[in-house]
Structure 1
Amino acid sequence: MSVDTATVKRVAKLARIAVTDDEAKNLEGELNTILGFVEQLNEVDVSNVEPMVSVVAVDMKKRVDEVTDGNKAADIVANAPASDENFFQVPKVVE
């Protein structure tokens, strides 16, 4: 895959970056070099590589999947200026 100046300008516009024509030419070369390195990854044989979550073989910690309220209601309203039975109290703003 090759990137041309028009593509560089389009990507810059999407990223909301102002790019001059000279900068676009420089970025075109840099992006093509980066894409060349990425294409080299396609040459690596990964057919015998098992998908990993981590580079170290570790079993994932699992918890019981149960629905709770978090048991944190009192902690959540602890810093509120006013609360009543774990609910925030706010002044009336609509009459």
Structure 2
Amino acid sequence: MSTISREEVAHLARLARLEVTDDELDAFAGQLDVILESMKTLGEVDTEGVEPTSHAVPLVNVFREDQHQPSLPREDVLAGAPDTAEDRFRVPRILDEEA
């Protein structure tokens, strides 16, 4: 018996604003069903006494101290730009003012 219906997949697609075909709805329903069944199986695993972890292996901090180094003069950097304004790179607007 399927855990997720075609209608639920269509609803999820609408929420995600995805256009899917009828064939894709059937395929995704099957794929999501496999995923949900796998998660159900994982939920049945006895985890008593298992410490929660965020990573499978310990992480080592790879940050280094910031070191001040000389850089190119602003004029030299901006000289290679296709467009500048007020001593900055000028790029096309990609967001509306409402955003």
The TM-score with structure 1 as length reference comes to: 0.54
Is 1:32 matched up with 2:30?
Answer: no
Q: What is residue 92 of structure 2 aligned with on the other side?
A: none
What is the RMSD computed on CA atoms of the aligned residues? Answer: 3.0
Q: Any gaps of 5 or more consecutive residues in structure 1?
A: 59-78, 82-95
Is 1:48 matched up with 2:60?
Answer: no
Taking every aligned residue pair, what percent have the same amino acid on both sides?
Answer: 36
Report the CA distance between 1:53 and its aligned residue.
Answer: 4.4
Higher-Rg member (1/2): 1
Q: Any gaps of 5 or more consecutive residues in structure 2?
A: 60-73, 75-85, 88-99
The TM-score with structure 2 as length reference comes to: 0.52
Report the CA distance between 1:51 and its aligned residue.
Answer: 2.2
Specify whether residues 54 and 5 from structure 1 end up closer, same or farther in structure 2 by C-alpha distance, changes over 3 A only. Answer: closer
Matches of 1:28 and 1:57, distance apart in 2: 37
Hey, which bits of structure 1, 4+ residues long, moved more than 2 A? 51-58
Report the CA distance between 1:55 and its aligned residue.
Answer: 3.8
Aligned to 1:44, the other structure's residue is in SS state coil
Q: Which letter does structure 1 place at the counterpart of 2:41?
A: Q
Q: How many residues align?
A: 66
Q: What is residue 63 of structure 1 aligned with on the other side?
A: none
Report the CA distance between 1:54 and its aligned residue.
Answer: 4.2
